[in-house]
Amino acid sequence: MKILLTVDKRVSGFEQDLEFFEKLNLMFPEIQFDVAESIDQEKRSIVDTDIYYGSISNEVFLESRKLKWIHLPGTGVDKIIKSIPSLGDSDVVLTNCRGPHAGPMANHVMGMILSISHRLNEQWDDQKEHFWDTNKYIDSFEDLSGKSMGILAFGDIGKAVAKRAHAFGMKIYAVDLQSMEKIPEVIDVWGLDQLDKMISMVDWFVVTAPFTKDTKNLIDKKKIGLLKKTSNLVVISRGGIVNEDALINALESESIAGAAIDTFYEEPLPKDSPFWDLKNCLISPHVSASAKGMIEARRNIFLENLKRYINKESFLYVCDIKAGF
């Protein structure tokens, strides 16, 4: 058995990747491990590789002859699925690491909501200027208790957001493309046919959906127009689900109260993007899952799945390539 492990020296923390690969080599001496640091090395090595660890490109995939399993050490699989048209027609299994991300991403959502509702970003700016003005904030914060939240996609992240928001006394609703079991913290979970209804009734609308052919541009101008003037939109999962031009127009015209965005369609966000200068928009640079211990948790998922592969047991976190997540 041969495993191809990829490492990118341009990315911070690659030394830890190499340490992890060495650990695997010691744990499984019967397995051949090959580490590639370039596309050329990958293309040479993939020919007789059984397992690929990393984000594989189409040109590398097409050189494979024995490949049975691809493990992505991240969550979003949309780029791999889009770049490799033949992946869905192959017998290759794709797994990812969506488990460890849910908690930190949900925490980030609540952090953004609290920053907006209690104007914490403005207070931070005041602190930097050594500026004290109590009257500026008198009677201006939004109490989250009793406010309503709508969640688009009720997977691991959506459920984690719901549990946290419920602890703040919020009323939670969700919609999902698939039939989902309702948890105690949620008032109801509807099908996608109730999305417009949910958007129009909630104070906070949180997007936790994966980016697929079905969710691309799903939240368009019409749906953004359904939001109340006092509502806020939070985008935490993937860019491209919300029509960004329509969102900019809504924020500029103040037809909605505000937005908090961690993911954009084009990243890094261009320096000339209007989002930067919108006073009612809070931005973070696609970092919501970046909690301490997340990378180690990702590696442990691969380690567990490798043991399962050897023992011919079912994988954790198998992706539905046809569905796109």
Neighbours of 312 (CB within 10 A): 6
User: What are the tens digits of pLDDT across the range 59-95?
Assistant: 999 999 999 999 998 888 998 999 999 999 999 999 9
pLDDT at residue 177 above 60?
A: yes
Task: Select the CATH number that applies to the domain covering 101-283 from these four: 3.40.47.10, 3.40.50.720, 3.90.650.10, 3.40.50.300.
Answer: 3.40.50.720
**For position 14, what pLDDT does the model report?**
62
Average pLDDT over residues 6-11: 69
Query: What whole-number distance in Å separates Cα of residue 37 and Cα of residue 15?
Result: 12
pLDDT at residue 15 above 80?
A: no
Mean pLDDT of the chain: 95
Alpha helices in 168-314 (DSSP H): 195-201, 221-224, 244-252, 294-310
Tokens 């046809």, residue located: 322
pTM to 2 decimal places: 0.91
Average pLDDT over residues 45-65: 96
100, 301 in Cβ contact below 8 A? yes
| Residues of each domain in the chain carrying CATH 3.40.50.720 | 2-97+292-310, 101-283
**For position 10, what pLDDT does the model report?**
57
Which positions ≥6 away from 196 have C-beta within 8 Å?
223, 226
**For position 12, what pLDDT does the model report?**
57
Average pLDDT over residues 168-172: 98
78, 211 in Cβ contact below 8 A? yes
46, 58 in Cβ contact below 8 A? no
To the nearest 10°, the Cα dihedral for 259, 264, 269, 274? Answer: -40
pLDDT at residue 276 above 90?
A: yes
Average pLDDT over residues 184-192: 97
Tokens of 37: 């640091």
pLDDT at residue 128 above 70?
A: yes
**For position 13, what pLDDT does the model report?**
59
**For position 9, what pLDDT does the model report?**
61
CA-based nearest residue to 112, from 313, 258, 270: 258
CA-based nearest residue to 58, from 20, 13, 88: 88
Average pLDDT over residues 117-130: 97
263, 240 in Cβ contact below 8 A? no
User: What are the tens digits of pLDDT across the range 214-273?
Assistant: 999 999 999 999 999 999 999 999 999 999 999 999 999 999 999 999 999 999 999 999
Check if CATH label 1.10.10.10 holds for domain 2-97+292-310: no
**For position 274, what pLDDT does the model report?**
98
Which is more confident, 7 or 185? 185
- What percent of the chain stands above pLDDT 70? 98
- Which residues is 47 bridged to in the sheet? none
- Which residues is 171 bridged to in the sheet? 148
Which is more confident, 283 or 13? 283
- What percent of the chain stands above pLDDT 90? 88
CA-based nearest residue to 1, from 39, 38, 34, 44: 34
**For position 181, what pLDDT does the model report?**
84
**For position 124, what pLDDT does the model report?**
97
**For position 267, what pLDDT does the model report?**
96
